[in-house]
Every structure is written in structure tokens, then in C-alpha cells.
Amino acid sequence: MSAGKTVVIDYQTGNLNSACKSLRAVGADLLVTQRPEDLKNAARIVLPGVGHFASTERLMISGIGDALRERVAEGVPFLGICVGLQWLFAGSTEAPDTRGLGVFPEVCEHFPAGIKSPHVGWNSLELVRESRLLRDLPASPYVYFTHSYRAPVIYATAAVTNYGGAFSAVIETDNWMAVQFHPEKSGDVGLKILENFMQVSGC
Amino acid sequence: MLTRRIIACLDVSAGRVVKGVQFVDLVDAGDPAALAMRHAAGGADEIVFLDITATHEKRALLLDAVRRAADQIFIPLTVGGGIRSLEDAMLVFDAGADKVSVNSAALSRPELITEIGSRFGEQAVVVAIDGRRNSGSPESAEVYVNGGRKATGLGVLEWARQAEARGAGEILLTSMDSDGTRNGFDCELTAAVSATVQIPVIASGGAGNVQHFADVFTLGSADAALAASIFHFGISDARTMKEELAAFGLPMRLPC
């Protein structure tokens, strides 16, 4: 297992505790923080999240956004979970006034009318290209989702899930990694994904 | 494909499981955390703890069980029973629950749904509805409280609609007509609620065999079904049940 602190960003989201528990279960040494300066010595960074896109507002205000961009550019692997994936985009129609980090220029949108929303439960991941996060997992593994907004399929999409059409379930490009589902609630498959993240070395 | 969920429900009183699966090989068969782990390993998609006494004095025992379960299981955990305020909900979330289920307190003060939803996200609020229709149409079904003893005069479909508008993430629908009968879920009522709201509906009450689950997923359009005493009918775990349901053509998560 890789050495160094795994910094978990606390912006008071509901799944912070469960995200921390699952990361500890795969051997991570955690530092949970709200301060951008704590990102300085991070070996890897995790942004949990669940709920409303507007909750990410404080990430930009506090300076976490800028600090994160710097660190990831320097080679620190990042994992965003749920809203933590959506935040990497320019924004979301859920909170048009809240700016995302903008690593990807697209915008997240609500599921189309005519299907049940939120999308709650276990759905399968369909790999579209090689993925470090999904290494050594069975084909089309099931993971637990709970969300009403979704990210489009883009060049960085590593796996999609189909629900009212395909959306980005796993994103991976360089040191930016993110999942729409909740690995902390996805049983053994979820723990394996977190373990894989802990073994990614930055580039 | 999104699978239909099988949710294992454990009735807990004073921190002990009083109904549900008995595993002979468990050292402590009444420990909610130990049973939750067993269900998770056995293929259940989620776990529900229902605190059936929910007295103030015994609350600490439940919270301790939630804490120990949340440390060891990595699938969603819902806690219901006795959630009367945002403070009650916060204690349960702090202990490690992913969702809370609210029932009578939400009926007397529907703002509770919104309060919990804005603090913890709408996905974290399950509104439990106990409905009874005797032999009337699903539209005539009425909401009951106090474990099905007291009628409220409110229609089940109307309350489901209101709960959704207030920000409920899911509806847990228990048919008081079917509950305890083992004659099957109330598929008609479940289908009516499912057609009324956009949010997922969890069916509960009346399961006696695997066919009943197949029926409530197809005829009842349920997104999930609660399994409690079903495991007494010679079915050892959720995995066995899900394999049979998958053979019916229903999408199921079959853990490796």
C-alpha cells in the first residue's frame, strides 16, 4: 500500500463518514480537512459528496479548488465521488449559479423525463476503455448509485452506466479520477475500486 | 441495467434483533451488527434497522448497533423508527446510517422531510407509509399510524405525492392488509403508488415465497422489496432468492 496521507476534503457532505470508513478499510491513512493548505503534503486526495451541486460552492470560495488543481497537476492522484465527479465539470443545471471546477467543459444535467428519478440502486458499469480504478474486477460489475443529475459521456469516460441513456460512471484522465456511484456503499466491488485508487501512482 | 433491490429488514428493540433471520452459527444471533454483516455477505442489497420500541432510554443501544454495523458493512444502511426531529436524524447519521426512514412524525409535521433532506440530501430520506384499503380500490387506501392502529383520513396516493413534493428520496410502502399474511404483497396498491410518484418505491408486507417478490416487481412495479420473515421459509439467504428471481428474468445483482 502506498505511503503518505490520503487527504479527504470535508465540505460537510452526508457521506463523509462512510467514505472515510471505507478508505480506512483498504488501508488509507487519512487526514480529513476543510483547509486548502492541508493539500500540500497529500499523497492522494479524495472528494466525497452526495446531495446538491450547490454544496460545492464553498470549495471554490475556500480556495480548495485552486489548491487542488495545482496538486493534481503536480502528480497527486485525485478521486471524486458522486457530486465530487460532477464538480469536475463546468457546472450543473441543478445549481446554474454554482461554478464547477471546469476540468471538463461540459455541464451535468437531470435525467430525462419519463424515467424514475433519482436513479437509486445497483446498476452495472460498462467499460469503454482500460481503467486503473476497475482493474481486476469482473465484467460489468454492479455498484450502488443514488443521484438525479448525471455527467455526459466525454473523452475521459472510462466506464458508462445506462439509465435513460448512457452517462459517465467512471472518469479517468491523468491524475483526475472520479466515480458517479458510491464505492463506499458498493460492497466488495466498491472496496476493490478504492484499493485500486490507493495503488495508482501519480503521473 | 438497474437491478431490483432486495432489502433485509431487522426489527430491533433495545438494541437487539427481535424478528428476522436466525443463523444458528452466529455466536450472538440477536446482535443487529452481526446479522447485518451476515445479510450483506449473503447478497442483500441494503439493510434496514427498524427500531420498534424507540423509547428515549433505549436509543443509545440502537445507536451503538448502528455504529458497529456501519463500521463493518459497505452497503447502504437505513434506520427507521422513532425519528421525530432533525436532531434524531442527525444522531442516526452520525452513527453511520446512510438514510433515515420517517413515518408518523412526517405525517404530523411534513416539514421534517424537507429539513432532513436539505441537511443530508434528499436521497437520505425515506418516507414510510403504512396503508390499508380493506377491499376497496388502491385509490381508496388510507394512511395509518401507530403500527396500523389509527386511521389518519389521508389517502395513501395523496400522501405519497406530498412526500415526494417535500423532497422524499424514496417511499417505503407497507400494506397493512397484507402484512403478516404471507399471502403476497399488495401489488395493486404498490403499482398505484409507483405510478403516482417519480421516486423509487419499496414494497413491504405479505411476502411468503419467492413468487411474491417476482409479482411485486412485475405486477406491482416495485423498485425494491423488503424481506424480513421470508428467510424463515427455507431460504437461507438473499443470494438464493435472487438467483430464483433472476431465473424469472428480473434484473438482480448476484454478488460474486
**Each residue of A101-129: pLDDT tens digit?**
999 999 999 999 989 999 999 999 999 99
**For the ranges A9-13, B79-83, B122-126, which has the lowest average pLDDT?**
A9-13
Grid cell listed for B139: 385509490
In one-letter notation, the amino acid at residue B24 is V
Mean per-residue pLDDT for A65-73? 97
Q: Are strands B5-13 and B224-227 parallel, antiparallel or unpaired?
A: parallel
Alpha-carbon gap: B189 to the closest alpha carbon of chain A (Å): 18
Closest residue to B74, CB basis, from A17, A50, A191: A191
- Looking at residue B203, its pLDDT comes to 98
Closest residue to B200, CB basis, from A15, A116, A142: A116
- Cβ of B123 and A51 within 8 Å? yes
Contact status of B198 with chain A (Cβ, < 8 Å): yes
* CATH architecture under which domain A5-199 falls: 3-Layer(aba) Sandwich (3.40)
**For the ranges A69-78, A188-197, B2-11, B223-232, which has the lowest average pLDDT?**
B223-232
What percent of chain B has pLDDT above 90? 69
Whether B54 has a pLDDT exceeding 90, the answer reads no
Q: Please provide the average confidence, as pLDDT, over all residues in chain A.
A: 94
Whether A9 has a pLDDT exceeding 90, the answer reads yes
pLDDT class for B25, splitting at 50, 70, 90?
low
| Residue A108 known to be catalytic | no
- Looking at residue B19, its pLDDT comes to 60
Whether A60 has a pLDDT exceeding 70, the answer reads yes
- Chain B: residue whose CA lies nearest to A126: B1
**Do the Cβ atoms of A15 and A53 come closer than 8 Å?**
no
- Cβ of B169 and A118 within 8 Å? yes
**Do the Cβ atoms of A134 and A158 come closer than 8 Å?**
yes
Helix (H, G, I), strand (E, B), or coil: what is residue A161? Answer: strand
Residue whose C-alpha cell is 438497474: B2
- Cβ of B96 and A119 within 8 Å? no
Chain segment A128-158, per-residue pLDDT in tens: 999 999 999 999 999 999 999 999 999 999 9
- Helices B32-41 and B59-72: crossing angle in degrees, nearest 10, is 30
Whether B20 has a pLDDT exceeding 80, the answer reads no
- Chain B: residue whose CA lies nearest to A161: B1
Helix (H, G, I), strand (E, B), or coil: what is residue A188? Answer: helix
Q: What is the ipTM of this complex?
A: 0.93
- Chain A: residue whose CA lies nearest to B99: A14
- Looking at residue B235, its pLDDT comes to 60
- Looking at residue B198, its pLDDT comes to 95
Q: What's the start-to-end Cα distance of chain B, in Å?
A: 17
Rounded-to-integer distance, Cα A192 and Cα A190, Å: 5
DSSP for chain B, written as a single string: -PPPEEEEEEEEETTEEEES---TT-S-TT-HHHHHHHHHHTT-SEEEEEESS--TTTHHHHHHHHHHHHHH--S-EEEESS--SHHHHHHHHHHT-SEEEE-HHHHH-THHHHHHHHHH-GGGEEEEEEEE-TTS-GGG-EEEETTTTEEEEEEHHHHHHHHHHHT-SEEEEEETTTTTT-S---HHHHHHHHHH-SS-EEEES---SHHHHHHHHHTT--SEEEESGGGGSS---HHHHHHHHHHTT-------
Q: Are strands A119-124 and A142-147 parallel, antiparallel or unpaired?
A: antiparallel
Whether B21 has a pLDDT exceeding 50, the answer reads no
Mean per-residue pLDDT for B62-74? 94
**Do the Cβ atoms of A150 and A134 come closer than 8 Å?**
no
Q: Which of B31, B130, B179, B223 is catalytic?
A: B130
Rounded-to-integer distance, Cα B115 and Cα B108, Å: 14
Strand-by-strand arrangement of the A42-47 sheet = A29-33, A5-9, A42-47, A78-81, A176-179, A166-173, A157-162, A126-127
| Domain extent listing, chain B | 5-247
Closest listed residue to residue A138, CA positions, set A79, A78, A82, A186:
A186
- Looking at residue A159, its pLDDT comes to 98
CATH of domain B5-247: 3.20.20.70
- Looking at residue A1, its pLDDT comes to 46
Chain segment A23-58, per-residue pLDDT in tens: 999 999 999 999 999 999 999 999 998 878 988 999
